[in-house]
Structures are given as structure tokens and as C-alpha cells.
Amino acid sequence: MSGTLWGIGLGPGDPELVTVKAARLIGAADVVAFHSARHGRSISRGIAEPYMRPGQIEEHLVYPVTTETTDHPGGYQGAIDEFYEQAAARLAAHLAAGRDVALLAAGDPLFYSSYMHMHRRLADRFHAEIVPGITSVSAASAALGTPLVEGEQVLTVLPGTMPVDELTERLRETDAAAIMKLGRTFPGVRRALADAGRLDDAYYVERASSTRQRVLAAADVDEAEVPYFSITLVPGPTPTTGVASLLGGQHRGAPTDGSARIETSSHHESASATGEVVVVGLGPGATDWTTPEVTAALDEATDLVGYTTYINRVPERAGQRRHASDNKVESERAAMALDLAKRGARVAVVSSGDPGVFAMASAVLEVSAEPQFKDVPVRVLPGLTAANAVASRVGAPLGHDYAMISLSDRLKPWEVVAQRLSAVAAADMAIAIYNPASTQRRWQVGAMREILLTHRDPETPVVLGRDVGGPTESVRVVTLADLNPDEVDMRTLLIIGASTTTAFDTPEGTRVFTARRYENA
């Protein structure tokens, strides 16, 4: 006979919240299966360990990718689908051999769980049974110490991966909400809460029921420290005093009906006073290239907001909050900065190079035009941009008219990029190429070269500057014909010469300049 697949719900984290039935079946199973990321640490196995016995077969199912990039030909989804098929085949071999398999699932197996992917692939061939578990929503509500809904109120459970506009609309329409799947999505979740007018009533619970549980007001969460296993709750009823005691008992503006609003953020000294957002450029790498004006703004800021790599370049200061995030959430990052300033913070949004050149200044200003942020002051402080830094290393390749073009087609279609490359090349201007390639975007450099060769001499000088001002700086000069796309990555900036650009060798290395004078002028 075939074995039985048991989908075992373990609850939210505390091993004592594992049900009696789940504990019994874990100990009785021939095979215990569990998932983890590539680091190998399985939360599910850690919860179940007290109930396991010696001699059980363990199937450790390691995701090939979670938040990382992948070179799988099918992309992220292709890699995940292939993993699920292989994992199902491993479990099927045990089931076909008559072994019972306990597949562990944090929370409940049928509530945003990886178990579902195995169930779909195995339940039509083998006997499968579900052991429900306490969900993270229930555990977070218990940690908060307040009801989520009462009477006729409606609770909506939402994934944080939902588009911000849709998330905002659903938050506006519901009485109470639980928002799952946070981590890197939290900037967008906080923006949706703010746009829906629910941020002041939202609470954040991290690793509910575990020894590392944290409870915070959602407005006060450091975005750089939001794990996937966290949840945001918007209770329907007025929170009980249990919330206030958890968050330190600090209240603001308690109304006469006895309800209370909670304020726990010490750096928002005045809820009524508006702070400001200053968008700054650190320069491309070397600390000497950060201007005194920018340094002063960083010193005065209560909060720093930016891409993790750029935030890490700023020295830590006591009492200053750092909100680091992924480099693909510009709008969410801008909204969070503006919301902090609206609540009284002095926020520095950190960019590399110059903030107005393919960086955060335009993103902040675009979001600041929205009605809810119209009263938040925004300043932009310039920085040395990468094009000028790279140019200085070889001389003056940008000494005459030139254009700046980003090769990324993430925010604009490639057809637009190609049209602009062709137009600028036909106009015989030097070109500074930003964002030429990344780990997943490799073909554009070769396509650019072919477009330019229809207008430029193959011997046209090309400057490749990588990590200029940084510890791994390298600068080389090649010809357009010899430009190798495999030698270009996201940290490289290219300068393509014009017909008036000259390269010549000196004892100090190759020097490049673009003449300011045309022969017939």
C-alpha cells in the first residue's frame, strides 16, 4: 500500500502551539519533510523538532531562489516550478514505497503555505490529509491583545505583494485587515496604509508567538529590518488597553469616548509639525566627492531613506533611523520618505552620484505632487554624477555637447531606448551610458553597439569606467568595434565618443578628449 501524505500545520512559531494531533503524527511519520531557503535554516523543522524521533528520514527541500536573481531560462517562476516538480518527485518516491510523509508547514497548510504546491501535485495519486494549524493572523492578534473584528465587521486578508493602488483601495473598503507577505514589500504596504488613511490605526507584529516576537506601530517600523514572517494588522474595533501597554503606554489625543490612539515614535516630536525631505547625492564612490552641503544635510536628518548599498555608505549617527530597501521600489521609497516628513521627521533620501540623474529626485517629486503630500517641503542637493567622474579619469571625453542615456528598459520600452540612441548618434554627440547591464539584462549592450556602428566609425573611442571612486575602480579605453558586452555590468558607466573625440597614449595612460572646436567653425 502507498503511504499517506500529511500536511501538518505547525502554528505560527511557538512549539507549544502545535496541536496534539500534529505532534502525534510528526512523531509517527516515516519521513519528515520541510522547506528552507538556501541558507538551510528551516523554521518549520525548528518548531517540530521537539516532536521528532531518532531514525526518521528527513527530506530537506531547499528553494533554489527566494528574493535572489536567477539565470534559469524560465526566470524566477520557471526555477520555482521546476523545484516544486522535483520536490514532489522526491516525496512521491517515499509514498509509493509505503512510507508516511509528514510535510511541515508553518501556520496552516492551506493558508499561504508551500504545502499547497505539493498537495496539487500529489493528492490525485496518494492519500492526503490536512492537519490545520493556528494561522499567523490569529497569533498576531493575540500578540496585539485586541480583537480584529466584532459584530458585523469584515476582516480582509491581503498579500503585501499586491499592487499599491489595489491594496490602497481594498484597505479603504474594509473594516479590518491583515496584510501578509511583508519583507521587501513593506514600503509599498506602508504607502497603501497612508494613502488609505489607515496608517495611524495599523500595527506590526514580527515573528508572532516566537521568542523573537516584536510589536510596533506600523508607522514606526524600520523598513530595513522587516522579515518575511511578519504581519500588519488594522483592527476593526477600537484597540483595547492591551495594545497601549505593549507599546509602552504612550497615548496621543485621547478622545472623550474613552478610546485611545497610540504614539510610540520618539523621533516624531510633533505630530502636527511638518518636517522636510532633502534628496541628496553622495557622488559616485569616493567620500571626498560628497559635498559639504550634502554632509550637513545628512548630519541634520532624523531619518535616512534609500537603496541599501547607498545607505551603507553613510556613517551611522546616534539616534538617526535608517530605512534601507531594494533598488526597485523607488515610488514606495519616495512615499515613505514623504510620509515620515509629513509626520515631522527631517528625511534625507540618499542617492549615489547626482540625485537628479537617473536617481531619486524625480521619483520623490513625482510622488510629492500627490494631494496628500502637497504641503511637504522637498529640496534637492546636487552631487557629482558618475559620467563626470569617469570622464575625469581619462581627460575630457565629454568636453563638447553630449547626451546621457540609461540603457535600462525596466521603466521605458527598449524601442524608446533604441530610438534615442540612434538620434543622438546621428547628431554626432558623445554619449554617457548609464545602467548598461545587470545580471538579468545582458543583451542590450550588444544591441546598442550595433545601433551606434551604423552612425559611428568602428575606431570611435569608448571609455569603460567601473566602480570609479570605489575600492575596485577600473577605467579602460577600447574602440567601439572591440566593445565586449561581457565586460560590462551594472557598476560600469560607458562613454561613447563622437567623430571629434580623440584618444592618445601618454606615460600616465590613455587620454581622451572631445574637441570643442569643429574644423569649419
Domain definitions of the chain by residue range: 4-132, 137-239, 276-384, 387-514
Pick the closest to residue 333 from 315, 317, 348 (CA basis): 348
Q: What is the pLDDT of residue 223?
A: 84
326/69 Cα distance (integer angstroms): 13
Q: What is the pLDDT of residue 240?
A: 62
pLDDT at site 258: 30
| 137-239 topology per CATH | 3.30.950
CATH annotation of 4-132: 3.40.1010.10
What is the pLDDT, as a whole number, of residue 266? 33
Q: Count Cα atoms within 13 angstroms, Cβ side, for 108.
A: 11
The model's pTM: 0.51
244-247 long-range contacts, Cβ below 8 Å, gap at least 24? 245/145, 246/143, 246/144, 246/145, 246/215, 247/215, 247/216, 247/217
> Given this model, what pLDDT does residue 75 score?
81
Please provide the CATH number assigned to the domain covering 387-514: 3.30.950.10
Q: In degrees to the nearest 10, what's the CA dihedral of 45, 50, 54, 60?
A: 0
DSSP 283: B
In this structure, the number of other CB atoms found within 10 A of the CB of residue 273 comes to 11
CATH of domain 276-384: 3.40.1010.10
Q: What is the mean pLDDT of the chain?
A: 88
User: Phi/psi class of residue 181: alpha, beta or left (left: φ > 0; alpha: ψ in -120 to 50)?
Assistant: left
For the chain, which ranges sit under pLDDT 50?
A: 244-245, 248-272
Identify the DSSP state of 503.
E
| Cβ proximity of 39 and 29 under 8 Å | no
User: Quick check: do 4-132 and 137-239 share a fold?
Assistant: no
What residues contact 498, with CB distance under 8 A and at least 6 apart?
400, 402, 428, 429, 430, 456, 460, 514
Q: How far apart are the first and last CA of the chain?
A: 92
pLDDT at 85 (0 to 100): 95
Supply the pLDDT for residue 285: 82
Contact status, residue 290 vs residue 350, Cβ threshold 8 Å: no
